[in-house]
A and B are shown apart, each in its own frame.
Chain A
Amino acid sequence: MDFQDIVLRLHNFWRGHGCLILHPYDVETGAGTFNPATFFGTLGPDALRVGYLEPSRRPTDGRYGKNPIRLRLHHQYQAVLKPPPSNIQQMYLDSLEALGMNLAEHDVKFAEDDWESPTLAAWGVGWQVCLDEMEISQFTYFQQMAGVSLDPVSVELTYGLERIAMVLQGVESAYDLRWNDRIAYGTLWREKERQFSIYNFESAAVERIQKMFTLCEEECQASLVAGLVFPAYDYALKCSHLFNILDARHAISITERESFIARIRELAKACAQGYLGTGGIDAYPTT
C-alpha cells in the first residue's frame, strides 16, 4: 500500500466513525497535538471528533537523511475523540486492520507511555503502541490541556505514518517507501532532510532566530490583548518551532531552556483562557 493510500484509508476509516476530516495546519508544528483542532477542540464541554494529517517538524530528530526511521519531518495522522468511546482500543486496532495489517502475524503491545507537554501545560495517560517493538502510535487520554482540567476527557490517537508504512511495505528504511506507484519517499524527502539537518544543526542564525522568537511572542501577546485568540495561537506555535530550532542548534543552555519553555507555556495558557473566556464558541463542532 502506497504512503498516500494510507492517508486516504485513515481518512475513510475515521470519516466512518463520524470524524470531521480536516487538513494539516499551515503553521509549523512539532506534533499533531499542536494543531488548533486538538488544542482548542479538547477544551470545553462540547463533543469532538476530528481526523487529520499533520506533518510534524522536530529539528533535533534530523539525521541528514541517513537514519532509516529518525526524521526531521515525519507525518502524523491524528484522530481525536471526545468523549472516548468505551471500545476505543478495539476501534484503533480495527483502523490498523483497515490499513491491511494482519495483526495476528505481529507483536502488538500497549506499553505505558504517559504523555506530557511542558510547552502546552498538557498531560495525559496512555501508551505507545508498539508493533514488533517499533513505536507506531501514541495513544493518550488527555487529562489536562493548557493547564485546564478536561471534562469530559479526550482520547488522542497519533499514528506515525512512516513507521506504519514500513511495516506494510516491508522495507527497512523510510526512504525506500513508495509514496505512490512512481515516486519513492526518498526521492521526495531525502534532500530536504539533508538540507534542513544542516540548517537546524549548523547554519540557522542563532541571533536572528532569537529575535524572531521575541517578535512572535510579542505578536501573540498583542493579539491576545485584542481578544483575537486564533491569530494569537498561530504566533505561539511559531515560538514553539523557533525554540525547537534553537534547541537543535545547541543555542540554549539548560538554565535558559526552562525559561523558554515557560514563556511558550504562558502563551498557550493565555490562548486557552481567551478561548474559554469567549463563552460558548465551539471551534470544531460535531453537529
Chain B
Amino acid sequence: MNCSRREFLESGLKTILLAGLPLSAFEILKPEALASIMKGKGRRWAFLVDVTKCVGCGMCVKACKLENEVPYDTKVSRTWIERYVALYDGRVLIDSPMAGRDGFPRNDPQGQKVAKEDIAKAYFVPKLCNLCQKSPCVQVCPVGASHYTPEGIVLIDRSWCIGCGYCVMACPYGTR
C-alpha cells in the first residue's frame, strides 16, 4: 500500500475525529444529562440541622420512622438522638435508648443515676441520614434500589431491594 506522510496524517486525524464523534454522542445521551437538557436543572433540596439547638424531644425520630415506614417498635432508626453526659471525673456517658424515639424523660444515662453537681456538661446530638451527594449506599447497591431522586434526595425502593446489606456496610455514618 502506498501512503505518503501527508495522507497518513490526514487519515489519522480523520480516524480520531470519527472515533471521537460517537463517544461524544454517548456523553450527550447519558440519561441524567439528557434530562437536564430537556427539563432544565430543576430544584435541588438541601437539609439543614442546627445541632446546638436540639433538646432531645425525639419528634424527628418519630416523624422519620412514620414517614419512611421504618418499623416503629424496633431499635433501629434512620434518625436518632444521642445523649452525651460529660462528668467532672472525665467519663462521658453516651446513650440513645430506642434511638431517642420517646425523648429522654429520665435522668438515666447508660442506666445510671447521675448527681447534678457531677455533670460538667450535657447535650443532645441528632444524627440523620446525610443524603450524601455522592452517596456510598447508592454506589454499592447491586440492583439500584438505593437511588437519588431528581431533587437530590437518597431513597430506597423497597420493592426492589434484595436485602444484601451492602449499603449497611458502606454507610460511614451508620444510618443504614
A, B from the same assembly: no
Contact surface of B with A, Cβ cutoff 8 Å: none
Contact surface of A with B, Cβ cutoff 8 Å: none
